[in-house]
């Protein structure tokens, strides 16, 4: 069986369905495309002969392949259905290009060119077939490459009657906007001994550390007054917000931090003469430091209330996800099995702490150890996202090896 051909066919079929999530919507899933994609996956799972195929009211798809090998652990694989909204087109138009070096013209009509000088990572893939977008959208490898991988692995295992233990599958909505799907995933339907997400980038990447993540919303109500009589009367909520923002260290923001450094990120504001709503993200790998950041939010608000006693200032904190490592020992068997799979395939492991989160952050907190490994793609959340087919195939080989050694 031609693995690259199988993976590519799967990927093109899934990217043909627009499934961008929408943070402005509170019901699940936040886009009809995710439901449509889930229905397609249900049909394909049924055709492969899986059992207990179910799409619930939240759009979560679950399925089960009973084992044919005794003594094996029950393994799970999870992928998210949505693609990210970064103000590009939700419609994905992938293209397969044989890369011979230099710049890549993604879209001649719109003059969208991926320049090698800005993306030297391309150099490693000369002479390879690579999936690119047409420059008007992300490619969608995050996370449709994982869907293609999982479905290809199931196809191979079933059609070749390979030995395997119980395999549980989950496709969940709205990971990109707070892991919403994995938070409501029915663990009576998805109940492996451990699981994996396939939601990292380049060949060899392994993740079992993610941020602890919170989202803060500040509500500020000022006092309106006509400018002719505003002295000592008007309280401008925008200036109150300015004073609040100024209390947070500018060197602890995304643009000034790297590796395992945490940050604050003010990333949204809506305001008029009376009211201001301000959004901020809190991120930290260390659970104690994360709590200190939460505590500082309360300290900052108390200080601003004293500075502006006539303003009404309130805030809420939503826990978004937590570090996988909070709930997983580095020596846990699923992580050891992942490293062993890479080693057996001659793939150099590149372990890093992800400055973000995966569905595994949520699932690990819910009791299912779920580390993460690579799709093979580069530049997630960008019009310059690309996926070399040899790396795509290596990710599939890892999935097959994990199934074989569960």
In words, the CATH class of domain 212-321 is alpha beta
Active site residue 175: yes
Residue 330 has a pLDDT of 83
Whole-angstrom Cα distance, residue 97 to residue 117? Answer: 19
Active site residue 82: yes
Single out the catalytic residue among 174, 175, 176, 385: 175
Residue 79 has a pLDDT of 98
Torsion angles phi and psi, residue 201, rounded to 5: -100, -100
Residue 20 has a pLDDT of 98
Q: Which residues have C-beta within 8 Å of that of residue 303, sequence separation ≥ 6?
A: 247
CATH homologous superfamily of 3-210+323-404 equals Zn peptidases (3.40.630.10)
Whole-angstrom Cα distance, residue 53 to residue 41? Answer: 10
pLDDT digits (tens, 9 = 90+) for 50-99: 999 999 999 999 999 999 999 999 999 999 999 999 999 999 999 999 99
Residue 355 has a pLDDT of 95
Looking at the predicted structure, is the pLDDT value of residue 104 above 90? Answer: yes
- Domain-by-domain residue ranges, the chain? 3-210+323-404, 212-321
Contact call for residues 117 and 71 (beta carbons, < 8 A): no
Residue 265 has a pLDDT of 97
Mean pLDDT for the stretch of residues 12-31:
97
Beta bridge partners of 168: 64, 76
pLDDT digits (tens, 9 = 90+) for 287-314: 999 999 999 999 999 999 999 999 999 9
What does each C-alpha distance from 227 to 15, 272, 396 come to in angstroms?
54, 15, 65
- HSE-CB at 49 with a 13 A cutoff on CA atoms is 9
């Amino acid at each position: 069986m031609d693995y690259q051909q199988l993976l590519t066919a799967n990927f093109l079929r899934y990217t043909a369905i627009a499934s961008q999530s929408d943070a402005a919507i509170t019901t699940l899933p936040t886009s009809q495309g995710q439901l449509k994609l889930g229905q397609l996956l249900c049909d394909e799972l049924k055709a492969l002969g899986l059992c207990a195929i179910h799409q619930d009211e939240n759009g979560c798809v679950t399925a089960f392949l009973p084992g044919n090998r005794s003594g094996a652990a029950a393994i799970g694989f999870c992928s998210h259905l949505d693609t990210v909204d970064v103000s590009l087109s939700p419609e994905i138009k992938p293209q397969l290009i044989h890369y011979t070096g230099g710049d890549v013209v993604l879209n001649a009509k719109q003059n969208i060119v991926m320049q090698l000088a800005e993306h030297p990572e391309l150099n490693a893939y000369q002479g390879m077939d690579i999936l690119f977008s047409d420059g008007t959208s992300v490619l969608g490898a995050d996370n449709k490459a994982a869907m293609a991988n999982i479905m290809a692995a199931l196809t191979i295992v079933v059609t070749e009657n390979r030995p395997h233990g119980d395999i549980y599958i989950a496709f969940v909505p709205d990971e990109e906007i707070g892991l919403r799907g994995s938070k409501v995933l029915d663990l009576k339907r998805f109940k492996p001994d451990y699981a994996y997400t396939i939601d990292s980038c380049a060949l060899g990447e392994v993740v079992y550390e993610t941020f602890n993540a919170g989202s803060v919303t500040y509500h500020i109500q000022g006092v309106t007054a006509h400018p002719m009589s505003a002295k000592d009367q008007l309280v401008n909520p925008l200036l109150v917000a300015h004073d609040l923002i100024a209390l947070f260290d500018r060197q602890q923001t995304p643009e000034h931090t790297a590796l395992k450094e945490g940050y604050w990120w003010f990333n949204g504001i809506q305001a008029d003469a009376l009211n201001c709503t301000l959004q901020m993200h809190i991120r930290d790998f260390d659970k104690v430091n994360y709590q200190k950041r939460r505590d500082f939010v309360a300290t900052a608000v108390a200080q601003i209330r004293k500075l502006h006693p006539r303003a009404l200032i309130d805030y809420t904190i939503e826990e978004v996800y937590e570090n996988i490592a909070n709930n997983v020992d580095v020596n846990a068997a699923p992580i050891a099995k992942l490293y062993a799979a890479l080693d057996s395939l001659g793939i150099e492991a590149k372990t890093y702490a992800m400055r973000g989160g995966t569905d595994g952050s949520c699932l690990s907190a819910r009791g299912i150890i779920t580390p993460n490994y690579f799709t093979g793609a580069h530049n997630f959340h960008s019009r310059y996202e690309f996926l070399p087919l040899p790396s795509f195939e290596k990710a599939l080989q890892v999935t097959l090896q994990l199934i074989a050694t569960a």
